[in-house]
């Protein structure tokens, strides 16, 4: 019987492809080990589907775990596997174990956790499981020794992505993700890490401000192979900061054009990166298929930006937006309000910047979130030091909502004002093609222009007829 590793992606509301599991599965020695990937989102009974894949040849089960609701499904899967196979190693990796490696081991069924970049650590871990060896001295992990004591091994340095094998998309049912998304959009990760120091983000803690990206020639080869195999018409880069290295960005554009690949693409961008791209480079990106960038602004107050160490200027945001307009590139601009000690003036400045951006192009969208202390960030530590309740157990972390909730310091008035603004700005701008939406669009424009959000009857009716789906 061939040895095999079974990987599990817990249920969640997003339909991005489980590329972290594809990455570690692709890095294993495939000549000797089969890799089976089970995605709970694609299964009517995820736990049963997972258990069916386990047999006497299974070396271990790997589960990727994101903070929030996916923890609940990860716990259910772990407990089911442990009950059916008491001796089978179960490994957790992903964002939550990277932030809380030892706390995850408080769950009795978890054998070990992987922190940070997982390809090399997990590959060596699987080899040790096959040989019946312990995990002492294995960098990049935490584990439980015989007797129950927990050992935290040293961190690994971030390895260059070109040293790992290409991602094997045959591990997943690509067509099923196309169907779930409603479009032939392929997800792709071309880099890991982030060089910047934003204090609301966990990236600087997990990757220690390191960054590595696949070289442009190799990306050209991989993208051509994937395009010819799967016939996608849109590519969604899942990088934290895709535009980090300008020569690589332009090199990939040239590879796409040289190989005659025909698809659109979207990626993440910082405003200072957008300013550093010259007009020729913007034009090259557009010609190669760039359709949209996501530019994290976070605040309309320069003082708040400086406080959170965003290291960009508001002028750079608007200059980047102007270049996007000139080159016909759509945009998503995320914002965060409701930081601890954030004055009302800062929130109002953010709403004003949002309105300015939305008036610049019908293809600009914004997303507005209230700050929640995501673990691993300096602002979260500040909040918890002040006595704000921090989840203490995995069950509590499973109920953590970092998208649709607010901190206790945010007043009801501020919450309601921002929620109403979000609704009306969404309907006031953008492209509306249905005649039935025109009356709401007109009313929303009147309200946004006058900053008048009292008695939001339209909001009540729309949200009653079409309730929003929870995101975490």
CATH number where 333 lies:
3.20.20.70
Q: What is the pLDDT of residue 52?
A: 96
- Averages of pLDDT over runs of 10 residues in the chain (472 residues) are 92 92 96 95 97 95 95 97 97 95 95 96 96 95 88 95 97 97 97 94 90 97 98 97 96 98 98 97 98 97 96 98 98 95 95 97 96 88 88 91 81 95 94 79 94 93 81 57
Q: What is the pLDDT of residue 470?
A: 61
| Pair (194, 274) in one structural domain | yes
Q: What is the pLDDT of residue 404?
A: 73
> Does some domain include residue 160?
no
Domain that holds residue 45: 3-141
Q: What is the pLDDT of residue 400?
A: 86
Q: Is 466 left (phi over 0), alpha (psi -120 to 50) or beta?
A: beta
| Pair (102, 188) in one structural domain | no
| Pair (336, 211) in one structural domain | yes
| Pair (134, 222) in one structural domain | no
Long-range contacts of 24-27 (CB under 8 A, 24+ apart): 24/62, 24/93, 24/118, 24/119, 24/122, 24/123, 25/168, 25/171, 26/164, 26/165, 26/166, 26/167, 26/168, 26/171, 27/119, 27/120, 27/122, 27/123, 27/164, 27/165
| Pair (98, 227) in one structural domain | no
Q: What is the pLDDT of residue 472?
A: 57
Query: Among all chains, which residue has been given the structure tokens 């970092």?
Result: 402
| Pair (117, 239) in one structural domain | no
Q: What is the 3-state secondary structure (H, E, C) of the chain?
A: CCEEEEEEECCCCCCCCCHHHHHHHHHCCCCCEEEEEEEHHHCCCHHHHHHHCCCCCEEEEEEECCCCCHHHHHHHHHHHHHHHCCCCCEEEECHHHHHCHHHHCCCCCCCEEECCCCHHHHHHHHHHHHHCCCCCCCCCEEEECCCCCEEECCCCCCCCHHHCCCCCHHHCCHHHHHHHHCCCEEEECCEEECCCCCCCCCHHHHHCCCEEECCHHHHHHHHHHHHHHHCCCEEEECCCCHHHCHHHHHHHHHHHHHCCCCCEEEEEECHHHHHHCCHHHHHHHHHHCEEEEEECCECCCHHHHHHCCCCCCHHHHHHHHHHHHHCCCEEEEEEEECCCCCCHHHHHHHHHHHHHHHHHCCCEEEEEEECCCCCCCHHHHHHHHCCCCCCCCHHHHHCCCCCCCCCCCCCHHHHHHHHHHHHHHHHHCCCCCCHHHHHHHHHHHHHHHHCCCCCCHHHHHHHHHCCCCCCC
Q: What is the pLDDT of residue 438?
A: 87
| Pair (262, 388) in one structural domain | yes
> Does some domain include residue 337?
yes
> Does some domain include residue 169?
no
| Pair (195, 125) in one structural domain | no
Q: What is the pLDDT of residue 465?
A: 85
| Pair (213, 316) in one structural domain | yes
CA distances from 4 to 26, 33, 79, 117 (A): 13, 5, 20, 22
Q: What is the pLDDT of residue 121?
A: 97
Q: What is the pLDDT of residue 146?
A: 80
Q: What is the pLDDT of residue 388?
A: 86
- Angle between the 438-450 and 457-465 helix axes, to the nearest 10 degrees? 140
CA distance 159 to 137: 18
Last residue of a domain, one of 385, 410, 435: 410
| Pair (201, 110) in one structural domain | no
| Pair (243, 371) in one structural domain | yes
How far apart are the two ends of the chain, measured CA to CA in Å?
40
CB atoms within 10 A of CB 467: 8
> Does some domain include residue 7?
yes
Q: What is the pLDDT of residue 226?
A: 98
What is the number of structural domains in the chain?
2
| Pair (194, 286) in one structural domain | yes
Residue 82 sits in a domain whose CATH number is 3.40.50.280
Q: What is the pLDDT of residue 469?
A: 65
> Does some domain include residue 113?
yes
> Does some domain include residue 155?
no
Q: Is 176 left (phi over 0), alpha (psi -120 to 50) or beta?
A: alpha
> Does some domain include residue 36?
yes
Last residue of a domain, one of 110, 141, 172: 141
Q: Please say whether the beta carbons of 343 and 410 come within 8 A.
A: no
> Does some domain include residue 137?
yes
């Amino acid at each position: 019987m061939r040895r095999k590793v079974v990987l599990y992606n817990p249920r969640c509301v997003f339909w991005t492809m489980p590329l972290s599991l594809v990455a570690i599965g692709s890095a294993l020695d495939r000549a000797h080990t089969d890799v089976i990937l089970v995605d709970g989102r694609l299964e009517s009974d995820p736990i049963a589907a997972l258990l069916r894949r386990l047999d006497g040849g299974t070396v271990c089960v790997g589960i990727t775990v994101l903070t929030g609701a996916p923890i609940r499904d990860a716990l259910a899967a772990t407990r089911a596997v442990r009950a059916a196979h008491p001796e089978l190693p179960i490994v957790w990796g992903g964002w939550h174990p990277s932030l809380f490696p030892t706390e995850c081991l408080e769950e009795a069924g978890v054998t070990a956790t992987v922190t940070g970049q997982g390809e090399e650590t997990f590959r060596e871990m699987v080899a040790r499981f096959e040989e019946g060896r312990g995990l002492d001295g294995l960098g990049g992990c935490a584990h439980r020794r015989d007797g129950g004591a927990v050992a935290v091994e040293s961190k690994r340095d971030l390895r260059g992505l070109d040293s790992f094998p290409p991602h094997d998309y045959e591990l997943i049912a690509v067509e099923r993700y196309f169907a779930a998304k409603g479009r032939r959009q392929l997800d792709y990760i071309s880099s890991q890490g982030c060089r910047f120091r934003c204090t609301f983000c966990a990236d600087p803690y997990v990757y220690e401000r390191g960054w590595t990206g696949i070289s442009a020639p190799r990306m050209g080869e991989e993208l051509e192979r994937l395009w010819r195999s799967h016939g996608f018409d849109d590519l969604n880069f899942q990088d934290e900061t895709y535009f980090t290295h300008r020569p690589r960005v332009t090199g990939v554009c040239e590879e796409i054009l040289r190989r005659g690949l025909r698809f659109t693409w979207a990626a993440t961008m910082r405003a200072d990166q957008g300013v550093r791209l010259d007009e020729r480079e913007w034009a090259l990106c557009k010609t190669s298929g760039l359709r949209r960038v996501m530019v994290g602004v976070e605040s309309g107050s320069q003082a708040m930006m400086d406080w959170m160490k965003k290291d960009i200027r508001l002028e750079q945001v608007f200059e980047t937006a102007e270049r996007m307009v000139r080159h016909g590139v759509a945009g998503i601009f995320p914002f965060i309000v409701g930081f601890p000690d954030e004055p009302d003036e800062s929130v109002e400045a953010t709403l004003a910047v949002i309105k300015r951006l939305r008036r610049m192009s019908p293809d600009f969208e914004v997303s507005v979130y209230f700050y929640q202390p995501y673990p691993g960030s300096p602002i979260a530590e500040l909040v918890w030091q002040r006595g704000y309740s921090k989840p203490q157990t995995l069950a509590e972390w499973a109920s953590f909502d970092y998208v649709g909730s607010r901190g206790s310091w945010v007043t009801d008035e501020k919450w309601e004002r921002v929620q109403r603004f979000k609704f009306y700005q969404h309907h006031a701008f953008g492209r509306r093609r249905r005649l039935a939406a025109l009356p709401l669009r007109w009313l929303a424009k009147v309200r946004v222009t006058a900053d008048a959000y009292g008695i939001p009857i339209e909001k009540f009716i729309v949200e009653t007829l079409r309730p929003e789906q929870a995101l975490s």
